[in-house]
Amino acid sequence: MNGLGGLNKSPNGVVLGLVQLKLPRIETPADLAAQTDRIVAMVAKARANLATMDLVVFPEYALHGLSMDTRPELMCRMDGPEVAAFRKACVDNRIWGCFSIMEFNPHGAPYNTGLVVDDTGAVKLYYRKMHPWVPVEPWEPGDLGIPVIDGPKGAKLALIICHDGMFPEMARECAYKGAEIMIRTAGYTAPIRESWRFTNQSNAFCNLMVTANVCLCGSDGTFDSMGEGMVCNFDGAILAHGTTGRVDEIITAEVRPDLVREARIHWGVENNIYQLGHRGYTAVKGGAQDCPYTYMHDLAAGRYRVPWEDQVRTVDGTACGFPAPTRSYGAGQTSPNASAAREAAE
């Protein structure tokens, strides 16, 4: 049930458009400016493509491509021209938009940042990727947590980025904070295709949450991204899936946050997001509400250590040509909170 990709919109529906944007090659500031214009044009295409669309989602690396180039002249700032152009595009086309930037960090490596902008041009969601795809990606690990906002038509909305979605804890955190729709943007290439598909479905089913997921598409002459725009319903069923790998195709679907809310309230069997904290409630009143998971205790105490810790061979980015880091996480950082960052942008 997706209203023929949003052509037939129900009163409670939210129509999503996932842009399988062609993988760009960015080498100069002029390339960056041209790609900004291209994304702005694709926002207009999305609106023209489907008048019912509420939110258009661009993949991770839509602006910067997959070069992993961290030169300051190619990095973005929240008050820079790229973000300003994306905000204006949302206003001009009366649509919400989800965008990707590599954000300059004066205290360390750049952040891999995702933004959701509403149809008035306000930055409503500001997220820094928590789990860079190590050892390949050089980005600073995110320091703002996972914000959940009121999105189009009041739907609770969260955003995670690419490799984040391989950690079930990330989707669980989104749902635990109330997200009914979780966006996952990515730049993945073909070897990850099957993992991408089943994690998108499991993230949805395990949390009674819609997941909306999209990768870059096509080739930049070196890398080949796979597209794979994919919307999964809260029961894990696939509502829409871009399987052709056609660049710049916009995969659309209508989703129903009201049915997510209904399932979370009324499901008994497989209401896993609730049952995690109420183990065995048939046998004991309210269920067991302890925390029996060793890794949770160890992670919270700063002593997370897998049994094979000393045998792990790849523990930095040197295998991918990056120098071994010498700075500890948080050293020298000044971390604004999400609301302060949005206010600075606005």
Alpha-carbon distance 260 to 264, whole Å?
6
Alpha-carbon distance 45 to 22, whole Å?
14
Sequence-separated contacts (24+) of 7-10 with Cβ below 8 Å = 7/50, 7/52, 8/254, 9/52, 9/254, 10/254, 10/256
Ramachandran area for residue 94 (φ above 0: left; ψ -120 to 50: alpha; else beta): left
Is 60 one of the catalytic residues?
yes
Give the end-to-end CA distance of the chain in Å, rounded to a whole number.
37
Of 27, 29, 94, 5, the C-alpha closest to 55 is 94
- Assigned token pair, 324: 């071994």
| Set 129, 156, 180, 232: catalytic member | 129
The answer to whether 100 touches 119, Cβ cutoff 8 Å, is no
| Set 76, 90, 162, 174: catalytic member | 162
SS3 per-residue string spanning 59-116: CCCCCCCCCCCCCHHHCECCCCHHHHHHHHHHHHHCCEEEEEEEECCCCCCCEEEEEE
Length reported for the chain: 346
> 28 CB contacts (<8 Å, ≥6 apart)?
74
Q: Give the three-class secondary structure for 54.
A: coil
Q: Give the three-class secondary structure for 153.
A: helix
The answer to whether 161 touches 187, Cβ cutoff 8 Å, is no
Of 252, 186, 246, 225, the C-alpha closest to 24 is 225
Question: Which residues does residue 184 pair with via DSSP β-bridges, in sequence order?
Answer: 160, 213
Alpha-carbon distance 72 to 64, whole Å?
12
Active site residues: 60, 129, 162
